[in-house]
Chains A and B, each alone.
Chain A
């Protein structure tokens, strides 16, 4: 399964990954409309960490032993049988926040959508490659088969 590899030496904290992640998860999928109309209810699943020149774009690491999956009492955090990706089925999530409590990368967030659900990177299952990877101008995120 392909996973996102983070290269902190090339990240310049431009935050275009956050911009495009938001757009990819908006209803309109249009960058201008998404920012105009949906800014308050759509959030980026990518979190750019920045301290001086050190920066990198953090998102779900798609762990082999996912703590979120093990902690989720509703089964919302599950491994997609077709792709192998760990995703949160928001229709089943009850917002208990166990996943937030156990994710060592801090990659799960409380959704700002107005629904009390957990939100995290879903590897953009319906696209060829995750939006953050596709739009990183400096290839600080790459999409690779990682064993």
Chain B
């Protein structure tokens, strides 16, 4: 057999003075990195298959383990670096596409980190969130062009305009699309329960809805993706909203991919596909080849659900995102969800994940700006996604024009994900991106729900602090309020694209 040129990505260091040979690491590693040597009575490690997930490190009761990136060095080269070489070695061995999980790991500019927030000083007093109510409540849906009232003759006024259906969020953060199949049943339960607890919504992704989760219908956004997995009438009717997935930020232009190892009996039943087969969604919806086709599907879904649920359209952030979003709004979508370059995935070709799409910050600003210019900004809510990492990112996104954000990677990290980027292998040691029954047990939904709810609670407290600092007491006042943002380290083109001024001006 020919030699493999792939070097291990990580090395394992075991402090033998602390190792008690309890073998917890041996039992917990899904990649069989650790093993017990009966003859010598010690635990040893072969880091060849280590993915750097830290499961062993975290569970080790004496903190005897350390994972380091392999310090193997090539002759320094600014262009042909180790990662580039390793990719070529691997492809020369396999002849296949390189796959990756989670979001873009390349050093593209992170615009969140180049935007700073305002605070009130002197001229506009800040508000103390501990003493004054802060309104984080957000509604997602279409707004009418105008509202009409009529007097009822007793000094009260009734609303005469019929409103389209809205989603009501207690906090402007929702859990983004993660399919059952790419993530485990326990992970889905955790998301659904936390969404319910915190007054927000979670998204089924393109995996359909497991029967046990129908109970959480009122907090569910049911996704209709190009493969139409799991799409049937009950699925649409039980959800609070429906989302047509045209694309996602991690892999714009191509369809979803769930490797056959992860299509278990339960997954196959939920998705309505054969067990063990790869679940490949086609790149386009084969019934959407024009914007008119999209309008037709939007209204077909609204008809099927008696116009009682908002319909969202999710697109990846690409070069012409502004006219695309305008078309989507005019096609009748109640919500436009835009997923940026750094959005996550369970499986995507690495080259597409890293090289296709544009950052959400730029896309969001462009879309918000365009819709305002066309006078149709009110006809749909904008939801931004694609690496919202903390509460400051949330505030900046809303200031740039989003009504709300979707989080996925942050949610997974809250549940224990360490971004080893190997979701597509189905061997997630944290019980999240796997269907292996040994591994899925590791995510206790009671704990998952608690951690997700804690994350949202923590971020909402921070958002209130930042808003109070800005002298704002309602999300309504923050939305699209770009004057609260200033750019640092950005050139004029970027500042213009974001529609913000440079700090100091």
Contact = CB atoms under 8 A, between A and B. Distances in A.
B451 to A, nearest CB: 12
Contacts of B27: 13-15
Interface string B43-62: 00000000000000001011
B24 A9 contact: no
A19 interface: yes
B20 A31 contact: yes
A32 interface: yes
A139 B446 CA distance: 9
Q: Which of A11, A12, A52, A138 has the most CB of B within 10 A?
A: A12
Interface residues of A, dominant DSSP: loop
A31 B438 CA distance: 27
Given A10-B444, A12-B438, A35 B21 contact: yes
Contacts of B22: 15-16, 19, 35
Given A16-B24, A36-B20, A140 B59 contact: no
Interface string B147-182: 000000000000000000000000000000000000
B319 interface: no
B444 A140 contact: yes
A19 B61 contact: yes
A137 B430 CA distance: 12
Given A15-B23, A15-B24, A32-B62, A53 B447 contact: no
A20 B60 CA distance: 12
Contact of A53 (B20, B59, B441): B441
Contacts of A14: 24, 27-28, 59
Contact of A32 (B18, B28, B441, B446): B18
A53 B24 contact: no
Contact of B20 (A11, A32, A138): A32
B24 A19 contact: yes
Contacts of A10: 441, 444, 446
Contacts, number: 54
Nearest to A36: B20
Contacts of B441: 9-12, 53, 138
A20 B23 CA distance: 13
Interface string A56-84: 00000000000000000000000000000
B59 A16 contact: yes
**Which size class do B's interface residues fall under?**
20 to 34
A40 B438 CA distance: 30
Contacts of B446: 10, 139
A11 to B, nearest CB: 7
B382 to A, nearest CB: 39
Interface in B437-478: 437-438, 441-442, 444, 446-447
Contacts of B438: 12, 52-53
Nearest to A138: B444
A35 B20 CA distance: 6
Contacts of B444: 10, 138-140
Interface in B10-36: 17-18, 20-24, 27-28
A20 to B, nearest CB: 7
Interface in A5-43: 9-16, 19-20, 31-32, 35-36
Interface in B410-448: 431, 437-438, 441-442, 444, 446-447
B328 to A, nearest CB: 43
Contact of A138 (B18, B23, B24, B442): B442
B61 A138 contact: no
Contacts of A52: 437-438
Contacts of A53: 437-438, 441
Contacts of B28: 12, 14
A19 B64 CA distance: 15
Given A15-B24, A15-B27, A137 B62 contact: no
A36 B431 CA distance: 32
B161 to A, nearest CB: 50
Task: Report which residue of B22, B441, B442 has the largest number of chain A beta carbons within 10 angstroms of its beta carbon.
Answer: B441
A15 B447 CA distance: 19
B185 to A, nearest CB: 11
A58 B229 CA distance: 41
Given A13-B27, A53-B437, A137 B18 contact: no
Interface in A102-116: none
23 contacts: A9-B441, A10-B441, A10-B444, A11-B441, A12-B28, A12-B442, A13-B27, A14-B59, A15-B22, A15-B27, A16-B22, A16-B24, A16-B61, A31-B20, A35-B20, A52-B437, A53-B438, A135-B61, A137-B59, A138-B441, A138-B447, A139-B444, A139-B447
Given A31-B61, A52-B437, A138-B444, 20 more contacts: A11-B441, A12-B442, A14-B28, A15-B23, A19-B22, A19-B61, A20-B61, A31-B62, A32-B17, A32-B18, A35-B20, A35-B21, A36-B20, A53-B438, A135-B61, A138-B441, A138-B447, A139-B444, A139-B446, A139-B447
Q: Sorted from nearest, which 4 A-B pairs have the closest CB atoms?
A: A35-B20, A53-B437, A10-B444, A53-B438
